[in-house]
């Protein structure tokens, strides 16, 4: 903490108190002070304080008051952000412990000191911390989290309907989980977490995770990030009030330092897709079953997409094939792409340059991929950002690309997978026909209506050549993939660059309603709001979307 005044001549101070906020006047070797701003002077033998400004500093220097009876108090003026309110010109008496400062904030906000969480250098502000070691500077904006004491409620005046409640209370009434506080350009992280938090099977895998079950090849920071994810998801499930993801954020920056980049002392905005990918990669390393002969990867089971690719060179007629596992499909955007399906087809075709043994030089190869195994949750990234050399940033493609609430990927699958999907797809059509009112013989061997449902059991397609079937509990009917998916989450971006703007998560609840998770401010939304996120302007537009497989029990 820099001192707010200087001396005309050099002065001596005890090194152990070099940045103390209160300075006893007789510790100086010089009698003359030059002030850079007004300070408070407290005579220790009088019950009053005196203002000393740059204008009257000379008078102070030549006053007859004994310097030994003066203590110069240095006050820091800061601002404090709490929820949607910003309190400016809050004084910190750095000669007093932080608990006194928290009491000031209690008067302003109604949040008791024991509930206050204030972010400073090194973590949370402790009641007995040393201001000199915290690095708090004049003009700094501090962020505080915490809930105020409840105000006495007036007597109830009859029944209150949900429609009559304020928006935030409406959200609580529909049974959604909590929002996440923005800790300073962390909306990219919050929106990612809200989307992943909507996957119940992932939460189950995290609950089952423990340090004792950790594989030896999982590093400590991966373990810490997995535990932080588990604990944060658990906290979200238990509250409808906003949660501060501080522990997760600190571990994320430790595991992936790029998320801790600073610009002018402020944490920078980051790319949500990169955050999504890194979190899933870490969880895929941790959430494995060490006792399983196949070393089951829970993340791969839920999100993994197996692609079979044909790679050929038109010049040399060379041809090869490869199989790979990815966690998302790419929707490439061009002038010809108006719909998600068109972009996905473009994304499954690409050109690459590599050495040709037949030609003895580099050549262009065409790569065409097909889906060979489907995931329980299908993630799609809209490739909206590209590197613009002129502005040295990730510029954004604003073109509108429509996406459906129900996605059928049958024609993107390999021939082998298509054959495996035929029977489940017919079964699904028949069952949906019955839902529309067709009569069914009660003694028929056809499964009951609730045998055809959205997936709510753990597991997913396996990664091999077997049919894409979810694991079953004992006595449960076999569930099979149909290639049909329902939209359950959308991560949007508003702005012109991936490293700026604002990210928001939109998540479908179990009751079928949608919630917009805008950091700590969840809002109920209708289905039409979701379909309007397709782009074409400066409004929120879909960047990552997630679909849930529609399976049948046969």
Of the candidates 62, 413, 502, 540, the residue annotated as catalytic is 502
Cα–Cα distance measured from residue 441 to residue 224, given in angstroms and rounded to the nearest whole number: 55
* Residue pair 87/104 in contact by the 8 Å Cβ criterion: no
331 is catalytic: no
Spatial contact of 367 and 403, defined as CB atoms under 8 Å apart: no
- Which helix (H) or strand (E) segment holds residue 197: the answer is helix 187-197
Q: Write b or e for each residue in 197-221: b if 16 or more Cβ atoms lie within 10 A of its Cβ, otherwise e.
A: bbbebbbebbeebeeeebeeebeee
- Tokens 């939460």 identify what position? 203
Q: Is 502 a catalytic residue?
A: yes
Which tokens hold the place of 385?
């950002």
Question: What DSSP letter does each residue of 471-513 carry, written as one string?
Answer: ---TTPPPEEEEEEEEEEEEEEEESSBTTSSEEEEEEE-TTS-
Residue 479 CA to residue 470 CA, distance in Å, equals 6
Question: What whole-number distance in Å separates Cα of residue 123 and Cα of residue 2?
Answer: 21
136, burial (CB in 10 Å: exposed 0-12, middle 13-18, buried 19+): buried
DSSP letters for 365-413: EEEEEEEEE--SEEEEEEE-EEEETTTTEEEE-----B--SEEE-GGGB
101: left (phi over 0), alpha (psi -120 to 50) or beta: alpha
Catalytic residue among 187, 275, 331, 413: 187
- Could you tell me the sign of the dihedral formed by the alpha carbons of 123, 127, 129, 132, in that order? positive
- Catalytic (active-site) positions: 187, 502
């Amino acid at each position: 903490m820099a001192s707010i005044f200087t001396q005309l001549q050099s002065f001596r101070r005890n090194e152990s108190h070099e940045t103390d906020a209160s300075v006893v006047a007789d510790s100086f070797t010089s009698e003359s002070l030059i002030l850079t701003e007004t300070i408070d002077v407290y005579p220790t033998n009088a019950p009053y304080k005196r203002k000393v400004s740059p204008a009257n500093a000379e008078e102070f220097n030549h006053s007859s008051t004994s310097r030994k009876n003066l203590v110069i108090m240095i006050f820091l003026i800061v601002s404090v952000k709490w929820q949607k309110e910003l309190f400016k010109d809050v004084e910190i008496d750095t000669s007093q412990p932080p608990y006194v400062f928290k009491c000031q904030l209690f008067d302003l906000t109604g949040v008791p000191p024991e509930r206050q969480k204030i972010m400073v250098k090194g973590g949370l502000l402790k009641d007995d911390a040393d201001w000199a070691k915290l690095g708090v500077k004049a003009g700094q904006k501090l962020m505080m989290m915490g809930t105020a004491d409840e105000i006495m409620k007036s007597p109830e005046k009859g029944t209150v309907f949900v429609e009559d409640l304020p928006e935030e209370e409406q959200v609580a009434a529909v049974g959604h989980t909590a929002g996440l506080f923005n800790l300073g350009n962390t909306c990219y992280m919050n929106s990612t977490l809200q989307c992943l938090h909507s996957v119940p099977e992932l939460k189950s895998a995290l609950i089952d995770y423990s340090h004792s079950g950790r594989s030896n090849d999982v590093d400590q920071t991966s373990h810490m990030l997995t535990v932080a994810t588990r604990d944060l998801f658990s906290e979200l499930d238990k509250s409808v009030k906003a949660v501060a993801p501080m522990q997760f954020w600190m571990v994320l920056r430790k595991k992936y330092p790029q998320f801790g980049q600073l610009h002018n002392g402020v944490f920078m905005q980051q790319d949500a897709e990169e955050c999504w990918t890194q979190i899933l990669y870490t969880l895929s390393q941790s959430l494995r079953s060490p006792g399983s002969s196949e070393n089951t990867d829970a993340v791969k089971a839920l999100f993994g997409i197996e692609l079979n690719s044909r790679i050929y060179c038109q010049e040399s007629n060379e041809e090869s094939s490869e199989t790979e596992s990815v966690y998302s499909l790419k929707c490439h955007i061009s002038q010809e792409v108006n719909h998600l399906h068109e972009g996905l087809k473009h994304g499954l075709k690409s050109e690459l340059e590599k050495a040709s043994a037949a030609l003895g030089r580099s050549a262009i190869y065409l790569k065409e991929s097909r889906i060979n195994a489907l995931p329980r949750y299908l993630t799609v990234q809209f490739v909206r950002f590209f590197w613009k050399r002129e502005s040295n940033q990730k510029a954004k493609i604003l073109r509108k690309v429509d996406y459906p609430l129900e996605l059928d990927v049958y024609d993107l699958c390999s021939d082998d997978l298509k054959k495996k999907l035929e029977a489940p797809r017919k079964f699904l059509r028949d069952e949906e026909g019955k839902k529309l009112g067709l009569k069914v013989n009660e003694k028929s061997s056809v499964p009951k209506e609730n045998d055809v449902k959205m997936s709510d059991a753990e597991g997913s397609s396996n990664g091999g050549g077997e049919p894409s079937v979810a694991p079953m509990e004992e006595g449960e009917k076999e569930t099979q993939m149909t290639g049909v998916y329902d939209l359950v989450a959308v991560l949007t971006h508003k702005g012109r660059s991936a490293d700026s703007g604002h990210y928001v998560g939109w998540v479908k609840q179990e009751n079928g309603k949608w919630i917009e998770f805008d950091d700590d401010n969840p809002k109920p939304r209708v289905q039409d709001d979701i379909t309007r996120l397709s782009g074409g302007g400066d409004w929120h537009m879909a960047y990552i979307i997630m679909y849930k497989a529609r399976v049948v029990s046969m």
